[in-house]
Amino acid sequence: MCERGYHGEARSFRRWVKARLRDGLSQAAAPLAVHPSWKSPSSRQAVRLLATPSETLRKDDARFVEAVRAASPLIAEAADLARRFHDILVGREATELDRWLDQALGSAIASFARGLRRDIDAVRAALTLPWSTGPVESKINKLKLIKRSMYGRAGLDLLRTRIMA
């Protein structure tokens, strides 16, 4: 297979063959893909690419996104919902949230949508109220770090002393 252009590990190839045999697919139905000339993205990079508007992507990245979307309608739907959720947050459109939640509950990101629905009052407040904890996030992070580093060994007095120091 290496002579035919396969550059991966033998174990990966065996897994690929095993899956094809298990699923009853012939080589004609699912041909062995030759590695592309560009490096495939990691899972985090792929998620970022899927969530990025297509007009801002490089040509190779746009082709990758098109291929993934064509290969999996489920991923395409989840990416579209994620992009719409981002737009709702940025635009602070609380009225669109219920419609988005209804669509998301029947998709691949249903677990995320259920989590939002459990705390829907806080989500609506974040979209409608002008207040934010952004300016004090670093202080909150420092407090939690100090508290964790103490590992439950002392009470509020020592915590107060360490924070004020």
Which structural domain range is residue 48 located in? 38-128
- Identify whether residues 90 and 59 lie together within a single domain: yes
pLDDT digits (tens, 9 = 90+) for 8-55: 788 888 887 887 777 765 555 545 555 556 677 888 998 899 988 888
Same-domain check for residues 159 and 88: no
- Of the two residues 1 and 108, the one the predictor is more confident about is 108
Rounded CA-CA distance 103/81 in Å is: 8
pLDDT recorded at residue 26: 53
Number of domains in the chain: 3
Question: Looking at the structure, do residues 123 and 139 belong to the same domain, yes or no?
Answer: no
Radius of gyration of the chain (CA): 24
Look at phi and psi of residue 156 and say left if phi exceeds 0, alpha if psi is from -120 to 50, else beta. Answer: alpha
Helix (H, G, I), strand (E, B) or coil at 2: coil
Residues in the chain: 165
- In the prediction, which pLDDT does 83 show? 92
- CA–CA dist 67, 54 (Å, integer): 13
Q: Are residues 58 and 107 in the same domain?
A: yes
Q: Are residue 65 and residue 52 in the same domain, yes or no?
A: yes
User: Are both 89 and 25 inside the same structural domain?
Assistant: no
Whole-model pTM: value is 0.60
